[in-house]
Structure 1
C-alpha cells in the first residue's frame, strides 16, 4: 500500500481542492483562500500561487519577517458519482512567507514550510513527519487518475462489476449488492471498487469497498492498461 507520506504528497500534487487557512482570514470566502497552483520544492516546502491581493498574500506580507502559521487543507472527492464521495482529507501545517518575483504580474507565490502533516483517507488516519513528506514521491498515476476512473466507469462498467468474481468469500455479497460497481480510486498498486445497491438514496451500510491489487506496481498508463487487462481476464476465467 502507499505510505501515508506518499498519499499526502499525492494529494498535494493532484487537482483536489485546497484552502490555505491563515490567522485573521476566518471571515474570508473559501474561494479566496484557494491557491491557483501548487507544487512541492526539493526540500519538501509547498509553493502556492495566489492573486496578489488575496487574503493569504496580504497576511504573509504583513507578517514580514515574523513566522505566520498556516494550514493547507486538502479535500479529495471521487471523480465519479458514488455514495460518500469524499475519499480523504490531508492537512499540512507550517509557516508561510512570500516569494516575490517568480510569477506573472498580479500573482504572488507563497512558501509553506512544513511543520507537520496528517492524512485521513480510504486507508485510514495517520500522521506524517516532515522528513517523510520530503522524501515521498507522488503516485505516478496522479495526473491521470480522474480521467482513468471516469473511463473505466463509462466504458468498462460490466467488466468492473465482473471483478466481484475475484473476491472469494465476499463474491456473493458483491453479486447481491445490485448492479452498481463504481471504480473509486486508482494508484500504482491497484484499483479500489465500491459495490453498492443500484438507485439513489441507497443506505451506505449496503455498500462496501473491495481492493484489487496489481501483480506488480505500475509505473505509467501503459503498465496500467496491461494490469487492468490481466485483472479483467482473471475475473472472466
Structure 2
C-alpha cells in the first residue's frame, strides 16, 4: 500500500508516543549511568521532569557543573507487549541538558532525538519533537495488544486474512505488534525470518473505544473473505 492510502505516525509522533508510554529510562552523563523506573514525567514541551534517584549521583554531579547544567543522554527502549521474535520495537535516545528543578527534582531539556527502528534511524529535531503530540492510544496500546493477542483465534487469525497473499507465504505465526490511531500492525513470522504489515483503519481513531470499533470493522471485512488454510499458532 502507498503511504497516502496507509498513513502512519511521523517519526516525531512516534518519539512522543515512546516518551508518553515509557515507565523507565536510562540517564548517561560523563560520570554516571543511572536507571530510573517510575521517576519521570513529560511536559507539553517534551521536557522530562526527573525525580532524583536515591543515590543522588546526578544531583551531585550537577552541583559541580560549571554553568549549572549538565550534558546528558536519556535512552528509552520500547518493547512489544506480545511475545514475538525481536521484541524491541524502538530505541529512542535524547541528547540535551540536565538542570536543577528545586531541591528534589531535575529537568532534562532535549535538543534532539534519535529514533532507531527496524527500518533505520531517524534524527528528530527539537522543533519537530516539541510540536508533535503522542498518539492517543500510546498509553493504552500495551493493554489493548495483550487483549487482542489473548483472543488470537477469534481476532488475530481472522485479521491475517486481510494480509496480502505474499505476506502469508511460509507463515508459522501472526501476532499483533503495534497499534496507533491509524491502524494495527501485524508481525508475520516464518521459520527463519519475520516481516510486519499494517492494516489501516477506515478513519483515524481518537480514543481507545474508537480503536476497538475500527478493529471490529477490520474483523467484519476479514470474516467476509473466503477462509484459507488456518495459520499455525504458538502456545
Of stretches 32-41 and 129-138 in structure 1, the one that deviates more from structure 2 is: 32-41
Distance 1:13 1:123, change over 3 A: farther
Conserved 8 A contact 1:33-1:55: no
Which of residues 84, 87, 108 in structure 2 aligns to 1:85? 87
Deviation of residue 20 (structure 1)?
0.8
Question: Could you report, residue by residue, the CA deviation over 1:33-64 in whole angstroms, capped at 9, with x for unpaired residues?
Answer: 32533222243322122325332222223326
Q: For residue 228 of structure 1, what is the aligned residue in structure 2?
A: 215
Which of residues 150, 153, 176 in structure 1 aligns to 2:146? 150
How far apart are the structure 1 equivalents of 2:142 and 2:184?
A: 13
Secondary structure (helix, strand or coil) at the match of 2:64 reads helix
Q: For residue 22 of structure 1, what is the aligned residue in structure 2?
A: 29
Q: For residue 19 of structure 2, what is the aligned residue in structure 1?
A: 12
1:216 counterpart = 2:203: yes
Secondary structure (helix, strand or coil) at the match of 1:185 reads strand
**Which runs of 5 or more residues in structure 1 are unaligned?**
27-31, 102-107
**Which runs of 5 or more residues in structure 2 are unaligned?**
1-7, 225-235
Conserved 8 A contact 1:16-1:76: no
Alignment of 1:11-90 (within 5 A): 11-15=18-22, 17-25=24-32, 32-63=34-65, 65-90=67-92
1:187 counterpart = 2:180: yes
How far apart are the structure 2 equivalents of 1:214 and 1:235?
A: 13
Q: Greater helix share, 1 or 2?
A: 1
Q: For residue 229 of structure 2, what is the aligned residue in structure 1?
A: none
Q: Count the aligned residue pairs.
A: 217
Of stretches 144-153 and 62-71 in structure 1, the one that deviates more from structure 2 is: 62-71
Question: Could you report, residue by residue, the CA deviation over 1:120-150 in whole angstroms, capped at 9, with x for unpaired residues?
Answer: 1256421111011111111111111111111
Question: Could you report, residue by residue, the CA deviation over 1:69-89 in whole angstroms, capped at 9, with x for unpaired residues?
Answer: 001111111111110000010
Distance 1:112 1:36, change over 3 A: same
Of stretches 156-165 and 85-94 in structure 1, the one that deviates more from structure 2 is: 156-165
Distance 1:123 1:214, change over 3 A: farther
Q: For residue 231 of structure 2, what is the aligned residue in structure 1?
A: none
Deviation of residue 154 (structure 1)?
0.7
Distance 1:45 1:15, change over 3 A: closer
Deviation of residue 65 (structure 1)?
3.3
Cα RMSD, aligned residues only: 1.9
Conserved 8 A contact 2:168-2:188: no
TM-score (normalizing by structure 1)? 0.84
Deviation of residue 171 (structure 1)?
5.3
Conserved 8 A contact 2:25-2:75: yes
Deviating beyond 4 angstroms after TM superposition, the runs of 4 or more aligned structure 1 residues are none
Q: For residue 115 of structure 2, what is the aligned residue in structure 1?
A: 119
